[in-house]
Structure 1
Amino acid sequence: MKLNNYIYSLTNLNVSNKFKNQNLIKSNRNTTSMNLNKSISQNIVDRISFGAGKQFALNRELLSSITKVNGQDVTKLTASNNVLDFKQGSYYKVQTSSGLTAILTAGNGGGVHMPTTEFNLGENFSLAPSDWKDLDKTEKLFTYLGRDKSGYCAYSNYSNTEIKDMLGSVGIKPGFFEIKSDTTSNKFYMLDDGTIYPQYQVDGIRGALNLTNYFKEGYTKDSVFTIDGKDFKLDDSGHLNVPEGTACVMENITRKK
């Protein structure tokens, strides 16, 4: 009886081990198959990515080679005396921060955009997602400054460094500057760190400085107000006479009683 039980147990053990071995072989085959499929899929993705990247690079070169659009010369976008002037029907080249050569024009109401459909580059023309994103930032900054005289849309969506760098790339330096686009024209003042103020705010501060009677605030004719690097003193009535064109922003004003 004990011998029979031993043989029975041994038989079950052999059968169990056989099934385990079969399952292990099956598992190894599945794992190998999954790894092979994954490798094949990754190779396909890599080939597609390489092909797309090569096409994006060719499209970049094609875009930068354009010299005329609708019979009009494409000129470099450059400010003159800190004035940037976008005209409808004109086309301007500008290099974005990613190195893309963009071609911009003015639309209605001060909008600035790249009219890709006017370049006759074919329906399949495209750029890398990062280039589209960079182009969008460039278009929007010039559009915001061309349409919004407060500058709010610009300084609430871009850092001071971005504003300074992007404007600097087209020749705009810190100080008073103007953006003209279509029929709109907006003026601003930019500090060395890229902070911008609308012209009307600068004029408002200047007006407040000139209207204030500083004798009533404890100042005397010997007091010195340094504004935009220039020294001013009070007149006989206790008022300042700050001329138009002075950059009256709080960062540029110091007072000594």
Structure 2
Amino acid sequence: MRVNNYSALNKIMYDDFRNRQSRLIESINKAVYKKLNILPSNTLANGLSTDTLSIVAGKLILENQKKLASIGKNAEELVAKNNVLHLRKGAYYKFQTSSNTTAILTVGEGGNVYMPFSELGLDANFTLPPADYGEINKLTRLIGDLAEDGSAFLVNTAGFNDLEVKEMLGKVGIKPGWFEVRSDSKTNKFYLLDNGLIYPEYQVEAERRGFNIRNWFKDGYTRDSTFIIEGKEYKLDENGHLNVPNGVGCLMGNTKIIK
């Protein structure tokens, strides 16, 4: 039932974003023609060129980017400290997109992250480069899912590309290894591999315990075998067991074994 609730919430959020995006795309067309109405009549009489439309649209986008940059002056950077990302309900955060747009984000219930268009006073003529909407949508979904779901189920089933996940998390200061996403209601801890895969804390600990209780001698390994985990070497004891301490990110995808 909990999984179904998550899926339903994701669909609602995605549909809401798509509707908002459609409205904003429509608004830029209206805004462009509104701007064109002030052009000299002979320009309109001679027909509108693609270049004219592109210039007007570009000016609108530039104006809106400047507006967001001004609004975001006092907002906090959305960045993790020591691989811990804090999300405070009602706080405003700024995030720089790949096209150098300052996106302003806020946090709602349960760590839900979104761009508060109406709260920021962004009217119907507000628009941004299309790529920005996609980037903002992916980032807010990713961070919101990690804040809400400690199992990483939402992230791992949301259609994100693994390397894309690593790149997006890197933009907010999260590096491979253990990381946390903290909201007012809870803290979720995960492990990020270099390939972008995310594992919940309980799964990493379960694999670590599995590594320790396994008799590796039965699999053909010896006391000379070396297990390299997080850059540190481990050897088997006289019973064929590893003794990997608690807290080590012990995953098969993060372990190099020299037999």
Q: Please tell me the TM-score bracket, short chain as reference.
A: 0.7 to 0.9
Counterparts in 2 of 1:223 and 1:135: CA distance versus 1, 3 Å: closer
TM-score (structure 2 length as normaliser): 0.72
CA distance in 1, matches of 2:46, 2:140: 38
Q: Partner letter of residue 224 of structure 1? A: T
> Between Structure 1 and Structure 2, how many residues are aligned?
215
1:177-221 CA distances to partner (integer Å, 9 max, x unpaired)? 111234132222222333322222211110101111234444444
Corresponding residue for residue 137 of structure 1: 138
Q: More deviation in 87-96 or 208-217? A: 208-217
Which residue identity does 2:236 align to in structure 1? Answer: L
TM-score normalised by length of structure 1 = 0.73
1:117 correspondence with 2:118: yes
Q: Larger radius of gyration, structure 1 or 2?
A: 1
Specify the SS of the correspondent of 1:118.
coil
Tell me the CA shift for residue 85 of structure 1. 0.8
Counterpart residue type for residue 115 of structure 1: P
Aligned counterparts, 1:62-141, within 5 A: 62-67=67-72, 73-141=74-142
CA displacement, residues 77-128 of structure 1 (integer Å, 9 cap, x when unaligned): 1211001111102111111223221111111122111112111244433334
Instruction: Please tell me the residue identity of whatever aligns with 2:113.
Output: V
Q: Matched residue of 2:155: which SS? A: helix
Percentage identity across paired residues of the two chains: 48
The code of the aligned residue for 2:228 comes to T
SS in structure 2 at match of 1:88: coil
Unaligned runs of 5+ in 1: 1-38
RMSD: 2.6
Q: Which letter maps to 1:248?
A: C
Contact 2:193 2:254 in 1 (8 A): no
Letter in 2 for 1:56: I
Q: Which amino acid aligns with 2:71?
A: I
Alpha-carbon distance in 2 for matches of 1:133, 1:40:
37
* Alignment partner, residue 208 of structure 2: 206
Other structure's SS at 1:244 match: coil
Which residue of the partner structure matches residue 175 of structure 2? 173
**Range 222-231 or range 86-95, more displaced:** 222-231
Provide the C-alpha distance between the structure 2 equivalents of 1:116 and 1:57, rounded to a whole number of angstroms: 17
Letter in 2 for 1:66: I
CA offsets, 1:50-75, max 9 Å, x none? Answer: 3233112101110111147xxxx411
Flag the 1:98–1:141 CA change in 2: closer, same or farther, 3 A: farther
After TM superposition, list the pairs within 5 Å mapping 1:1-257 onto structure 2. 43=48, 47-67=52-72, 73-156=74-157, 157-257=159-259
Q: Which amino acid aligns with 2:115?
A: M
Amino acid at match of 2:190: F
Structure 1 pair 168/41, CA: closer, same or farther in 2 (3 Å)?
farther
